[in-house]
Chains A and B, each alone.
Chain A
Amino acid sequence: MVVKNILDRVPKNLILKKNVALIDATGVYYRDLNSLLRSLDGNGIEKIEICNVYGQRYIGTDLDGHLDIDIYGTPGNDLGAFMKGANITVHGNVQDGCGNTMDHGQIVVHGRAGDLVGHSMRGGKIFIRDDAGYRVGIHMKEYIGKRPSIVIGGTAQDFLGEYMAGGVLVVLGLNMKEKVHNARFVGTGMHGGAMYIRGEVRHLGEEVAVTELNEEDHKLLKSLVEEFCGYYGLNAEKILESKFNKLIPVSSRPYGNLYAY
């Protein structure tokens, strides 16, 4: 019934084929697009393909079901913000705030990402094939069964993993000419979680220590890199042959001694 109402509003943009929905997002306002997605969610639709996406924000927000969403084009800011379960594949680049405060689900980007990938995310996975912008993984957290992970195929900008409180951040540097990631203040204020960086980092935050990977780390890294390579048709073994550095917080209480009681 709801679907029908939406159909009345954007009659030419939606094609339903059994449990697959095809949407042409040309000229569709973000609110109408997301409202359409919400109306499809939980109505027996399992896969949604959206083409001609051009800057529409918040795609994937407030979707309950385990939907597979394929996006062709460039989704706008806050892709998958507060998302709890959808599987999004983007055939293109994503803008800022991809996976903002994401709770559960997955975003796979066949392209590059803007700033704030996975801001405050608590669960789920984000894979970015190429580079990402500033403050990737800022204030990521983890909690019991929830351990978010972000894998960046290229490199990332300054303040990578700032305030990081949990989760796993992997930066592979696959497209770099030199072996040093140019980011500064990596891990500033970090107090939880771990980063695995392939290659060296130019400038670390004060609250970060560099360590070797142990067996546990290698296992985790291997599974994430293999999953990453699976999406993009790359050779995981070759990538894993290189040296990785593990960045960890010096303390889980970086600001414990700031106060006079």
Chain B
Amino acid sequence: MKSYVAPEYIVERDQDRCIRCKVCVNQCSYDTHCYDEEDDCMISKSENCVNCQRCATFCPTQAITIRENPNHYRSNANWTQEVLTGIKKQAETGGVVLTGMGCDKPNLTYWDRILLNASQVTNPSIDPLREPMELRTYIGSKPDKLDLEMDQDNGVILKTKLAPQLQLETPIMFSAMSYGSISLNVHKSLARAASEAGTFYNTGEGGLERSLYKYGDHVIVQVASGRFGVHPDYLNAGAAIEIKIGQGAKPGIGGHLPGEKVSEEISRTRMIPLGTDALSPAPQHDIYSIEDLRQLIYALKEATDYTKPVFVKIAAVHNSAAIASGIVRAGADAVVLDGVRGGTGAAPRIIRDNVGIPIEMALAAVDQRLRDEGIRNQASVIAAGGIKSSADVLKAIALGADACYIATAALVSLGCTVCQKCYTGKCPWGIATTDLWLTKRINPDIGAKRLAGLLRGWSLEIMEMMGGMGINAIESVRGNRLLLRGVGLTDKELEILGIRMVGE
């Protein structure tokens, strides 16, 4: 069948600058470039290009420019290029249109319409370069009250037995991305960076590769519906366990890691046969209720002798507040909320862009609900899905989060250009692929450095912003919505966010 789908991008080559070095040929995993020996010239097949910018970045003479295809259909606010292309693709394949990364539609981001405060005159600001600043965060269930005993010799003694806690040196963790959806070298980079920065990385549901067990103190192991790679050693290897109920990019649906991606290494870590589809069912079949969730939470606590906090991750949806209340009452040590802009290695585009709600609203609603019910201390709240800067992290904490998860930002620091083609498994940046030829493109030493650099940069910025507000401990920002003001928001939006309008 003749495809009516037009190429999305046009590859332009400045023939005067091109030295026919073939770097572009080697770098592109989509076979966009080739060399014509007879005419001694380079040819580019624009229809193959995904605009990942790998070739343009590595071209030694900057000879390559990639542009959006100027051949647009007639402009139409409803029948956009994306809509028309999607329909044509579906007509030709009869399938579900896949995509990668988070929702790319405007109008779903509230962070940019929330502004932070700063001290002027009445409350002096603090210079974080010369004064102590505390970003340390503890994730885990906090007691309702502390029993203390005064001792003549030893001073104050804590009598309350505390629930297990994770100690974070900065309130940013790396969110779940499975080994399989991303490469082992990316996992290595994440593990090393998390260890170095005193934070945590999440395995996702693909298991923990044997060589990464040594980073266990900085690993959160995930248990999802497929139970891939989940066995007693794995549960005990990490510092915390996360039960994945849902994901912001695809709430309510499961996942399929296609058989092509289940290589020998992936099969070993997931503990499934080579080349079979790794199917993650939509629900966890042992969880049909809050009571069942409690059963799994306590099964995992039993399996680790109550030494590790258990997180429960849900996609932000309409009833998140009530669900989160149930999760806390079920005994979770932390609730993870993943907003509609959260990323993915593969999701139906229709679900990514239409299902779920923004993290800002879900977070504010959940924090408020848990406070109203007097159970906010019983679990930490972690915000995920669409955190793209240190300001977003700080705003999330002021809205009530204890810490944030980042994933897309972490991958961007490694080279990702958010081309949204993760589901092809051919990532030319060596990130969302298990092809050994491509995965070599991430050097874990350099990767760890880049990730640690990102964490350090964001942490410095958070300290600057805190200092500007006259605050020297992140604990004083947590749930402190007076630090926030909204701009361009309706009364109802401000009400749900629990913040005032700028100028108020």
Q: A: which residues have CB within 8 A of B?
A: 31, 34, 38, 57-58, 61-62, 64, 77-78, 81-84, 96-97, 100-101, 103, 116, 119-120, 122, 135, 138-139, 141-143, 146, 162-163, 165-166, 189, 191-192, 252-261
Q: Which residues of A contact B258 (CB under 8 A)?
A: 253, 256
Nearest-CB residue, chain A, relative to B300: A82
Q: What are 6 sample pairs from A and B whose C-beta atoms fall under 8 A apart?
A: A34-B302, A57-B302, A189-B281, A255-B279, A256-B277, A260-B98
Instruction: Assess the A252–B259 pair: CB atoms within 8 A.
Output: yes
A82 touches B231 (CB 8 A): yes
Listed stretches B192-200, B267-275, B361-369; interface member: B267-275
State in angstroms the CA–CA spacing of A131 and B272 once bound together.
29
Q: Is residue B109 contacting chain A, with contact meaning CB distance below 8 A?
A: no
Structural contact, B305 and A116, CB atoms closer than 8 A: no
Size category of the B interface is: 35 or more
| Contact indicator B299/A61 (Cβ below 8 Å) | yes
Chain B positions near chain A (C-beta within 8 angstroms): 89-90, 92-98, 226-227, 230-232, 235, 256, 258-259, 267, 271-273, 275-277, 279, 281, 285-286, 295, 298-300, 302-305, 423-424
B276 engages A165 (CB within 8 Å): yes
Evaluate contact between A258 and B277: CB separation under 8 angstroms: no
B285 touching A139 by the CB < 8 A rule? Answer: yes
Instruction: Choose among B96, B281, B300, B302 the residue that contacts A259 (Cβ–Cβ < 8 A).
Output: B96
A139–B226 CA distance with the chains assembled, in angstroms: 7
Complex: A96 Cα to B299 Cα, angstroms:
13
Query: What is the chain B residue whose CB lies nearest that of A192?
Result: B276
Q: CB distance A141 to B230 under 8 Å?
A: no
Pair A253/B276 contact, Cβ less than 8 Å: yes
Number of A-B residue pairs, CB cutoff 8 Å, is: 130
Do the beta carbons of B279 and A62 come within 8 Å of each other? Answer: no
A253-B258, A259-B98 known; A122 and B271 CB under 8 Å? yes
A64→B231 CA distance, assembly (Å)? 12
Query: Given that A38-B305, A165-B279, A253-B259 are contacting pairs, would A260 and B96 also be in contact in the complex, using a CB cutoff of 8 Å?
Result: yes
Which of A141, A163, A166, A255 gathers most chain B CB within 10 Å?
A: A141
Known: A84-B232, A166-B272. A189 touches B305 (CB 8 A): no
Which one of B93, B271, B298, B304 contacts A143 once the chains associate, using CB atoms below 8 Å?
Answer: B271
Question: What residues of chain A lie closer than 8 Å to B227, measured between beta carbons?
Answer: 101, 120, 139, 141
**Who on chain B is nearest to A134 by CB?**
B285
A residues in contact with B89, CB < 8 Å: 260
Q: Which residues of A contact B303 (CB under 8 A)?
A: 58, 61-62, 81-82
A163 touches B281 (CB 8 A): yes
User: How many Å lie between the Cα of A259 and that of B95 in the bound state?
Assistant: 4
Residues of A within 8 A of B276 (CB): 165, 191-192, 252-253
Given A141-B271, A253-B277, verify A57-B95 contact (CB < 8 Å): no
Q: Give chain B nearest CB distance to A156 CB in angstroms.
A: 15
* Chain A neighbourhood of B272, CB < 8 A: 141, 143, 165-166, 192
Whether the Cβ atoms of A103 and B231 lie closer than 8 Å is: yes
Select B285's contact among A64, A138, A142, beta carbons within 8 Å. Answer: A138
A216 CB to closest chain B CB, in angstroms? 17
How far is B261's CA from A253's CA once the two chains are assembled, in angstroms? Answer: 12
Q: CA separation between A77 and B286, bound complex, in Å?
A: 10
Residues in B whose Cβ lies below 8 Å from that of A191: 276-277, 279
Question: How far, in Å, is B209 (CB) from chain A's closest CB?
Answer: 15
Chain B neighbourhood of A256, CB < 8 A: 258-259, 277
Give the residue name and chain of the A residue nearest to B91 (CB): A260
